[in-house]
Amino acid sequence: MSATRKLIVMSIAIGLAASLLSTLGFVFVPGPFGMRTAVPMLISVGFSVTWLVRFVFVLLRHGKKGLWFLVGLPLGILWPLLVFALWWPCAAHWSCF
């Protein structure tokens, strides 16, 4: 397996884990955004940070080829943080849409 293919597979794998956990967090809601939701959300943010740290190291090691790791950006960073940004105000009992 080539280095580029490994980068793409790793990026999508971490991204899927982050994306699915944040999405599954809304499934386990017992009421208005309780603690059952907090655990998947925080784990999802952890996976997003892992994706970001991994991206920096991939860029340092592989240079321009490391940009292939950006394939997982929507799954690894954007979607989980968007869901987290919608969840946090509701969980903290601030103005929820």
State pLDDT tens for residues 63-90: 888 888 788 788 777 777 777 777 777 7
Nearest Cα to Cα of residue 41 among 92, 97, 7, 1 = 92
pTM of this prediction exceeds 0.75: no
Distance CA 15, CA 62 (A): 20
pLDDT tens for 8-66 read 888 888 888 777 776 665 555 554 555 556 677 777 778 888 888 888 888 898 888 88
* pLDDT for residue 23: 67
